[in-house]
Amino acid sequence: MSRTIAKKWLVRSIILLLPISAMFLTLFVGRYHIGFFDVLSIIAPWNSGDQYSSDQLWTIIFQLRLPRAIAGAMIGASLAVSGAAYQGVFRNPLVNSGILGVSSGASFGASLAIVVFGGGYLNYLLSFVFGVAAVLLAYLAGRIYGSAPTITLVLGGVVVSSFFSAFTSMLKYVADPYSELPALTFWTMGSLSSIGYKHFWAFIPIIAGVGIIYLSRWKINILSMGDKEAATLGLDAKWYKVLIIGGATLSTSSAVCISGTIGWIGLIVPHICRMIVGNDNTKLIPWSMSLGATFLILIDTLSRSISTSEIPIGILTAILGTPFFVYLLKKTKGGGWK
């Protein structure tokens, strides 16, 4: 019994320490190198070194790198957990957190804010609103036959995504090529470069959405068996689908509204976690939170370190995600649990 308890505590420690370690290590990495003892000298109360150097290092560490690391952890965790939840609810390992049009709706909202209203805080507000609206429209489209079975819900998401993508392309066409179009294009590629402490308000809905999924993680196991099996076990499948999809939508749209569109994390990370702990969502969800946070922190560190100009995160995740998706297609033979 004591060995089982020790194993559980070890697993929980690993889950907790992975993102914390990544956040700590990213403070030292970048085009401006900062050594380990330099960081200690900044946070040490007895520091009496060069004041200009100390102020400069303090700004880099606590005003630039630390908020990006914290935001990367929250956003990565939310995208990965949402992807795992969608895969369980829809019983398909090839779906991700944008399957119901969240990313397309958020992209349209941000594009509308940039082109029509000049950006600012409306950028975050409209991207969040239209991200949620896209999922609601997908749900309504899926109820054409009087109910919302999985296949019609996914098809509704495809239709809504195409709809919002068309309007986003139209806004790109009419955008000013010297000011609005670059901002719009950069946002749709995803980045943490502009995130600071003022954006931490988005953590409230992210935590709420992830919390809903975490508390419902064992019910995702039942939903993944099918609606009939869930009804046999006394679970209201319709209610819990709405609840879990709502939580995933809330966390994803909140993440996208401050980071832009970052793809593939909701697809890649849950499958890496399945290779570690299997399909049990009571274990998969916590591991997805941890590895999703760690993965995005490391990708963001890579994006701002490998070249003189920062590479958008969406480009790097797509480069990693495309071959991984081909591997999944081969493994799952086009969809469904193997």
Mean pLDDT of the chain: 85
Q: How many Å separate Cα 306 from the centre of its chain?
A: 22
Answer yes or no: are the C-beta atoms of 100 and 232 closer than 8 Å. no
Measured distance CA(267)–CA(249) in Å, rounded: 15
Answer yes or no: are the C-beta atoms of 175 and 114 closer than 8 Å. yes
Q: Any idea which residue has 């749209």 for tokens?
A: 253
DSSP characters for 117-174?
S-STHHHHHHHHHHHHHHHHHHHHHHTTTSS--HHHHHHHHHHHHHHHHHHHHHHHHH
Measured distance CA(72)–CA(56) in Å, rounded: 23
Per-residue tokens: 159: 């239709």
Measured distance CA(23)–CA(40) in Å, rounded: 15
The single-letter DSSP state of residue 312 is: P
Dihedral sign for Cα atoms in the order 86, 92, 98, 100: negative
pLDDT digits (tens, 9 = 90+) for 136-155: 998 888 777 555 566 777 88
Measured distance CA(218)–CA(238) in Å, rounded: 16
State the pTM of this model.
Answer: 0.89
Closest to 90 in 3D by CA, of 240, 223, 218: 223
Give the chain's count of helices (H) and strands (E): 15, 0
pLDDT digits (tens, 9 = 90+) for 193-222: 889 999 999 999 999 999 999 999 999 999
How long, in residues, is the chain?
Answer: 338
Residue environment code for 220-232, b if the CB has 16+ CB neighbours within 10 A, otherwise e:
bebbbeebeebee
Please give the chain's pLDDT, 338 residues, in tens: 567 777 778 877 888 899 999 998 898 888 887 777 777 777 665 554 555 456 788 888 888 899 999 999 999 999 999 999 999 998 877 788 778 888 899 989 999 999 988 777 888 889 999 999 998 998 888 777 555 566 777 888 888 999 999 999 999 999 988 888 888 888 888 999 889 999 999 999 999 999 999 999 999 999 988 878 888 888 888 889 889 999 999 999 999 999 988 988 998 899 889 888 888 999 999 999 999 999 999 999 999 888 878 899 989 998 888 887 777 667 766 544 44
pLDDT digits (tens, 9 = 90+) for 224-266: 888 788 888 888 888 898 899 999 999 999 999 999 889 889 9
- Write down all domains in the chain, each with its CATH number in brackets: 78-191+199-332 (1.10.3470.10)
What local confidence, expressed as pLDDT, does residue 207 receive?
96
